[in-house]
Chain A
Amino acid sequence: AQTVTQSQPEMSVQEAETVTLSCTYDTSESDYYLFWYKQPPSRQMILVIRQEAYKQQNATENRFSVNFQKAAKSFSLKISDSQLGDAAMYFCASTNNAGKSTFGDGTTLTVKP
């Protein structure tokens, strides 16, 4: 079984500043992937970044990076140099070997100009 918890329903950040979104998870799987997805208002969900649990190196995609702490089962997302277009709902997800994904409840990010 997998559970994913996002403890911050809402976050805000000033444009050009850095923000970190939290995610903790629990799984009985020995190998799994973790994802962050972004859902802009009235737009489709898209992938932001993914991390394989076996890799110790934190994934990075341009201004987006993760802090993966496997022992603590923590997978936070850091957004650097925040832009207005980053405003969205962000979902953390865990996917097991069978391809089944469990999503958190999401964090709504507001970017202030």
Chain B
Amino acid sequence: GAGVSQSPSNKVTEKGKDVELRCDPISGHTALYWYRQSLGQGLEFLIYFQGNSAPDKSGLPSDRFSAERTGGSVSTLTIQRTQQEDSAVYLCASSQNRGRANEQFFGPGTRLTVL
């Protein structure tokens, strides 16, 4: 079966440009998570969705970052006016629901490079 997919796999952009990163979760998974992973580092929580609502946006680093989810499926993470420190791998994960016991299934990530 299809897993979590993310696009693009790589994105190179110039400082100051806006970027959109897309995540397609596993069909039927109601919970969706976004993380940021800097080179060789752990995962930094950004935001998660239960259905289309985002009960916890506490991890978004600044107001340049926003995310939405439509139809309880696809999610888009938007970074406005990108900065060099935004360079990282952005990982998306989904789970059946947001309960504590649920395994998260991760996508392959989008590697963002801001020049």
Q: A residues engaging B (CB < 8 A)?
A: 6, 31-33, 35, 37, 43-47, 50, 52, 89, 91, 95-106, 108
Interface bits B82-115 vs A (CB < 8 Å: 1, else 0): 0000000001010101111111101111000000
Q: B residues engaging A (CB < 8 A)?
A: 3, 31, 33, 35, 40-43, 45, 48, 50, 55-56, 91, 93, 95, 97-104, 106-109
CB within 8 Å for A99 and B98 given contacts A45-B91, A106-B41, A106-B42:
yes
Please state if B108 and A47 are interface contacts (CB–CB under 8 Å): no
Please state if B100 and A45 are interface contacts (CB–CB under 8 Å): no
Q: How far is the CA of A58 from the CA of B110 in the complex (A)?
A: 35
Please state if A32 and B45 are interface contacts (CB–CB under 8 Å): no
Residues in chain A near residue B56, CB distance under 8 A: 98, 100
Say how far B2's CB is from chain A's closest CB, in angstroms. 13
Please state if B42 and A104 are interface contacts (CB–CB under 8 Å): yes
CB within 8 Å for A96 and B45 given contacts A44-B3, A46-B106:
no
Task: Name which of B31, B93, B100 has the most chain A CB atoms within 10 A of its CB.
Answer: B100
Please state if B99 and A99 are interface contacts (CB–CB under 8 Å): yes
CB within 8 Å for A44 and B42 given contacts A32-B100, A99-B48:
no
Residues in chain A near residue B99, CB distance under 8 A: 97, 99
Say how far A89's CB is from chain B's closest CB, in angstroms. 8
Please state if A99 and B3 are interface contacts (CB–CB under 8 Å): no
Say how far B66's CB is from chain A's closest CB, in angstroms. 19
Residues in chain A near residue B50, CB distance under 8 A: 99
Please state if B91 and A99 are interface contacts (CB–CB under 8 Å): no
Q: How far is the CA of A100 from the CA of B3 in the complex (A)?
A: 21
Residues in chain A near residue B100, CB distance under 8 A: 31-33, 95-99
Q: How far is the CA of A69 from the CA of B41 in the complex (A)?
A: 26
Contact for B31 among A35, A46, A99, A102, CB less than 8 A: A99
